[in-house]
Amino acid sequence: MTPRQRLWFFAVAAAGLVACLLWAFAGLPGFGDYPGPYGEAVLRVAVQQTNATAVVSAVNFEYRGIDTVGEEFILFAAAAGMSVVLRRLRKERETEPADEAESRTVPATSSAIRVPALLLVGPTAVIGWWLASHAQANPSGGFQGGVILASAFILVYLSGEFLTFRRLSPDALLDAVEAAGAGGFAAIGLAALVMNLPYLDNYLPLGTIPGAVSSSGTIALISFFVGIEVAAAFTAIVGELLDQTLLRSA
């Protein structure tokens, strides 16, 4: 095919794509126009039904809770797959790091990075914990809170303290927390089945003040379990990758 033929081929295909796209755009609802019935319905009943003032959390952890269980296990499977793929293979072994260029001087982690990173560890952990445990009142939830909690651990590594990072997050602990988080979510749903209710039915007392820490029954509890699962999974993924960069093929 000569370049000229290829150009013609592209021109025809591109014209077809543009025509199809324009046709599709013409049939779209107007900008900001929401034609579906569910949004309106949920907005009207969510706060009375669940006592959660954050309707998105109510939708995520209650109305479509079973979807969220699936998403939870996607991350769980991804983290587990990562540990399997990055396990120590027979030909690999960890060696004492040997300096192959002894004359070179290694620059220490600059204080400009170390000090802010260490200062941010505490506040980051608090924000992550707060987001994960206040899903019923804030636009957040276990997922966002969990990732922020994990970044608190990553900040420890960024400040040049790799060994401290690994000591703070041993694999056995991460695995246990991850399993407890994912299993806890599934178990909350199963408990409803035991009580002869639909899976993930909100069977806990909803509290009296909408949006209070003690309100919204299972929504807040599920968010907490999602939070610890996500935090452990992300910390494990980063930890595995860090181990990999220090591992050598013998």
Partner 1 sequence: MISTGLMDTLQIVVLAGVAAGALAVVRTRSRIRQVLALSVYGMLLAILFFVFQAPDVTLSELTVGAVALPIVLLLAIAKVGKPER
Binding stretches for partner 1 (CB under 8 A): 56, 131, 139-141, 143-144, 147-148, 150-151, 154, 234, 237-238, 241-242, 244-245
Judged by beta carbon, residue 109 or residue 197, the one nearer partner 1 is: 109
Which residue has 């003690």 as its token pair? 214
Nearer to partner 1, 115 or 246 (CB): 246
Task: Give whichever of 23 and 31 is closer to partner 1, judged by the CB atom.
Answer: 31
Token output for 50: 């669940």
Q: Are 42 and 56 in contact (CB under 8 A)?
A: no
| Whole-Å CA distances, 35 to 32, 42, 63, 232 | 10, 14, 20, 39
141 Rama class: left (phi>0) / alpha (psi -120 to 50) / beta = left
Q: How far apart are CA 85 and CA 78, in angstroms?
A: 10
Give me the residues paired with residue 50 across strands: none
CB of 237 to partner 1, least distance (A): 7
Nearer Cβ to partner 1, position 53 or 151?
151
The CB-of-139 to partner 1 minimum distance in angstroms stands at 4
In the complex, the smallest distance separating the C-beta of residue 73 from partner 1, rounded to whole angstroms, is: 17
- Rounded to the nearest whole angstrom, what is the least distance from the CB of residue 141 to partner 1 in the complex? 7
Task: Name the residue type at position 222.
Answer: I
Minimum CB–partner distance for residue 87 and partner 1 (Å): 15
Residue 231 · residue 225 · CB < 8 Å: no
Cβ proximity to partner 1: between 153 and 185 the closer is 153
